[in-house]
Structure 1
Amino acid sequence: MELEVARKRCLDCLINSIEQLQGRSEPDRLEHIAELIILSMSGPWRYFHTPEHIFEVGGSIDPTEVLAALFHDLVYVQVDHGVNLNISTYISPFVQEQDGQLTIRELDSLPNSSMFQLVSAIFGFSPGQSLSPFSGQNEFLSALIAANILEPFLDIHRITEIAACIEATIPFRPPTASGLTASDLLYQRLLGVNAQFNLGWSEEQFVQMVKRAVRLANRDVENFAFSNSTDFLDNTWNLMPETNQELINANSYTVAGYRKSLQKMEGFMNFLNPELVFQRFRGEPDEETYAALVARTRKNLEVAKLYLGIKLVTIAILEALSYRLGRDIPVSTMMGELPAPGRKSPILEQFLPDVPMASPPKNALEQEVLDLLSKGRNRESVYDIKNSPVSTFIIKSVGFSAMEHLLKRSKDFFAGKIESETFLRECDATVVNKILEGVAQLFDSRKAALHKAG
């Protein structure tokens, strides 16, 4: 989405939503805020958490949800390598950094701010508390910015609703030992906020507030329950450069760098409990809808785990072979450069034989993953092609049944428990030799091109 288009859409969302909430709409001031939001969401490392994402999450019906979505990913410390300078002034009075750790300032160092007190109460945070990116740091800071920015335009009731929605977007939180969910805890804290700030709301109003927050939070992660696992993996591939910026340099990232990205994502997919992706609070969403979301999420995670596992085995073989050349070998050295308009260069798959399937897929999951590997995801990414010809060659050669053992030994190799040559000897010799021959032919084609150019 072009920046100017995104700014215009963001400004329209701000003006229309504030007017619907009977706030003070001042287009000139809101224009600056729209620019602030879009510039922050368009940082060089943002591939998934972009302006398009906030518009999708906000929807177009509920103005509170629209506003909460505009601000909910404003701070993303681990992606942006810190807090964007344009928005840091809104939070620096309340937060300090020491040795890379963000901490809420001690009580005697905090300014007297009702917005800070409100947001802290909604999140259950307190002065002096260390913040963690895995425990609401980004969401808390984003909500704090939203509250401070929107204070001139909306009353405290509306800002409470918006901050509650942002709090709900803290993902993947398990129930407490007593069985309370994140939504239950938010509801309890809101009851305390009601008393602390004399908001005058009924308990039923807070029930509806939490239900709204759940709707927004579930849209934030709706890609986990896409009906097509290919679409889910497309989003996964957009997330990877946000956690490994080396991938942005399309033809120079290393084999080890790409492998580490795959490792992070495969580890995350295996860690994630599908029941923790979507939230539910007092019938929102209804039981049938929630069950369907969890079922689709479980299926997508199973596809992703098998798909990423095979990709890890593939990169393990390539990395082990690359050790014969050095320790920081680019993927493009081993596999050829990514396709580019008007330029054709040799790639590894050209030199691999087309082999029959050694053992046909045993179930629908294996068939779907085979199709994903051979035919590809729906979209190309800036750092990778959408299909996986080397992985397809490997899985056709050895079958899915060999993957569990090969994946375990791949991880042993990555962890330094076995040497590269030991790992290669445990792989199918024909597969390794054919890949090795293909890489050698790729080198020969480059050598021939070099002499031709001379």
Structure 2
Amino acid sequence: MDLEVAHTRCKDRLVWAIEQLQGKVEPTQLEIITELIIQTMTGPWRYFHTPDHIFEVGGSVNAVEVLAALFHDLVYVQVDHGVSINIGSYIAPFVKEVKGIEVKEAKGKGAKGQLVIRESSDMPASAMFDIVATIFGFSPNQVLSPMAGQNEFLSALIAARSLEPVLSPGVIAQIVACIEATIPFRPLSPSGLTPSEMLYQRLIAANQQFNFGWNEPQIIEIVKRCVRLSNRDVENFAYPNSADFLDNTWNLLPETNHELIHANSYTVAGYRRSLQNMEGFMNFLSPEQVFQRFMGEPDDETYQELILKTRKNLEVAKLYLGCKLVSIAIIEALSRRLVGGRDRDIPLSTMMGELPIAGLKTPSLEQFLPDIPSVHPPETPLEREVLELLRKGRNQDSSYDLKNSPIATFIVNAMGFPSVRHLIQRAKEFFAGKLSTDEFLRECDYKAIRTVIDAVEQLFESRANALRGLSGETTLTFEPYPAAISKLGQEVVSEV
């Protein structure tokens, strides 16, 4: 989205929502809030959590939801590699970074380099902080965890302080509650309560503590609103088309691995780590942790449909990512043999060719791989869909990756899904150093490996030919990589 368009759209939504909630904002104040949101959401590392995302999550019907969505992703420490100066000024009086010996004074373990809520005596009196902390169930001297509400808590604190001159405390509390509900993928509490039920209890306590004047039906409606916003935040998990779900997954990858932003220079291991982290996350997640429910919101039929679609998308993603892990494991194993060990890494483009550029023809590994039929055709609808996604690709192009998966397609066709499923686990052992390069390659079908090596050799030979062409009639002798690959092919075939 164009920066100017995003700025105008954000300002318009702020004005509309504040008016709907009987608030009033001065033009200078409006400009400060708008700039705060848009500048943060268009940071250099934002690929998925962008202005488009916050506009979609907020919808256009409920003013509280609109405002909560605008603020809910302001702080994303893992993506932005910290907190910018612009938003840091809102939270610095209440949060500090703890390192070294100070960690021993904080509640919780593993706090080195983590953010910690300050002691009560070390922060200014603030009704907004008290409201946010009560609704989140956080307390002074608490270690904040990126996986347990840190980003949402800090985003809510910025929202509350930004809107304090504009809206009543009771309305701000409802916005804060919506942001709390966007903490994703939480299990049941030790007492068996859902996140929404826990939020309901904290809202009852906040209502009593701050005299908001809510009655029971109003608190229930507030939580239902929170559930609606939270479910819109993760609605991509229940997309009807798995390719659309994978598109969103691929937008998330460069947010958590900034190396991928540099197309054609990120390394084999760097790309593999991105896939490995995402595959591990998909295997960890259960559909019931994705979407929330509270007192009939959403209704049973809608909720069950969300769970069913999410389960299907997760199954597709797990097998799809597993196939890609096997293919990148083979490429990484060959690259290690090429450069002499696991401690040296090379760009993925060295092994597979540069990403295509419109109007420029560059050699790629794909063009040297044969298009073969499946030796073991897919046996289930899941396998058929995954193979089609690998072959045809996701729906959207990516600036840092091909949308189709030619190497994975070849591997699946050459070995079959049963063998690939076995290799997924063996690939993980290889990545962890429990299997050597040779041991992993011996687990693979030797004909498939020989074909991939031949393709890499032809790719390197095409580069050598391009270099020869630069010399005119002069013959160049410059073939270190092709010779190395030929030797590697002989060694691998003899070993397997």
Normalised to the residue count of structure 1, the TM-score between the two structures is: 0.99
Question: SS of the counterpart of 1:103?
Answer: strand
Aligned match for 1:133, one of 129, 142, 146: 146
Alpha carbon RMSD of aligned pairs, Å?
0.7
Are residue 437 (structure 1) and residue 454 (structure 2) matched? yes
Which consecutive residues of structure 2, in runs of 5 or more, have no partner in the other structure? 100-112, 472-496
Q: Hey, what's the Cα distance between the residues in 2 that align with 1:104 and 1:343? A: 53
1:420 match: 437
Query: Does residue 1:362 correspond to 2:375, yes or no?
Result: no
2:311 aligns to what? 298
**Given residue 314 of structure 1, which amino acid in structure 2 is its aligned partner?**
S
* Paired position in structure 2 for 1:163: 176
User: CA-to-partner distance for each residue in 1:55-102, whole Å, 9 max, x for gaps?
Assistant: 000000001000000000000001000011111000000000023210
The secondary structure found in structure 2 opposite 1:407 is: helix
Alignment of 1:82-121 (within 5 A): 82-99=82-99, 100-121=113-134
Give the counterpart of 1:399 among 416, 429, 432.
416
Partner of 1:310: 323
Q: Which amino acid aligns with 1:101?
A: Q
Q: Which residue of 2 aligns with 1:281?
A: 294
| Superposed displacement of residue 210, structure 1 | 0.3
Distance in 1, Cα, partners of 2:82 & 2:158:
15
> 1-side partners of 2:93 and 2:396: how far apart?
43
Quote how far apart the aligned CAs of 1:107 are. Answer: 1.0
Which secondary structure does the structure 2 equivalent of 1:86 belong to? helix
- Whether the aligned pair in 1 keeps the contact of 2:57 and 2:233 (CA below 8 Å) is yes
Q: CA deviation at 1:342?
A: 2.3
Gap runs ≥5 in structure 1: none
**Residues 379-394 of structure 1 correspond to what in structure 2 (within 5 A)?**
379-394=396-411
* Aligned with residue 243 of structure 1, among 243, 256, 262: 256
For residues 275 and 95 of structure 1, the distance between their equivalents in structure 2, rounded to whole angstroms, comes to 32
Corresponding residue to 2:284 among 263, 268, 271: 271
Listed one character per residue, the Cα deviations across residues 370-390 of structure 1 (whole Å, up to 9, x for unaligned) are 110000000111110100011
What is residue 183 of structure 1 aligned with on the other side? 196
User: Would you say 1:28 and 2:45 are equivalent positions?
Assistant: no
- C-alpha distance in structure 1 between counterparts of 2:378 and 2:455, whole Å: 26
Match of 1:207 in 2: 220
Matches of 1:381 and 1:357, distance apart in 2: 27
One-letter amino acid matched to 1:32: I
Structure 2 distance, partners of 1:67, 1:225, is 24
State the identity %.
Answer: 66
Structure 2 letter corresponding to 1:49: H
Q: TM-score, normalised by structure 2?
A: 0.91
Residues of 1 paired with 2:202 and 2:28: CA distance? 35
Q: Distance in 1 between matches of 2:202 and 2:216?
A: 12
> Does structure 2 conserve the Cα–Cα contact (< 8 Å) formed by 1:310 and 1:407?
yes
Contact 2:337 2:437 in 1 (8 A): no
* Alpha-carbon offset, residue 432 of structure 1: 0.4
CA contact (8 A) 2:355 2:402 kept: yes
Q: Which one has the largest radius of gyration?
A: 2
Write the mapping of 1:345-360 to structure 2, written as runs, cut at 5 A.
345-360=362-377
Task: Quote the residue 2:6 is aligned against.
Answer: 6
Is 2:205 aligned against 1:192?
A: yes
Counterpart Cα distance in 2 of 1:365 and 1:85 = 47
Deviations 1:293-344 (A, max 9, x none): 0000000000000000000000000000001222211110000000112211
Name 2:52's counterpart in structure 1.
52
User: What is the rounded CA distance, in whole Å, between the counterparts of 1:418 and 1:211 in structure 2?
Assistant: 50
Q: Distance in 2 between matches of 1:177 and 1:103?
A: 24
| CA distance in 2 between partners of 1:448 and 1:403 (Å) | 35
Deviates more, 1:365-374 or 1:397-406: 397-406
Query: What is the rounded CA distance, in whole Å, between the counterparts of 2:291 and 2:467 in structure 1?
Result: 55
Deviation beyond 2 Å, 4+ runs, structure 1: 25-28
Whole-Å separation in 1 of the counterparts to 2:2 and 2:364: 33
d(CA) in 1 for partners of 2:74, 2:84: 9
1:342 aligns with 2:359: yes
2:65 corresponds in structure 1 to: 65
Q: Which amino acid aligns with 2:281?
A: F
The one-character-per-residue Cα deviations of 1:259-303 (angstroms, maximum 9, x if unpaired) are 000000000000001111000000000000000000000000000
Matched length: 454
Aligned-pair distance for 1:179?
1.7
Q: 2:252 and 2:372 mapped to 1: Cα distance? A: 33
Counterpart Cα distance in 2 of 1:413 and 1:280 = 41
Q: What displacement does 1:158 show?
A: 0.7
The Cα of 1:361 is off from its aligned counterpart by 1.0
What is the aligned counterpart of 1:373 among 370, 390, 401? Answer: 390
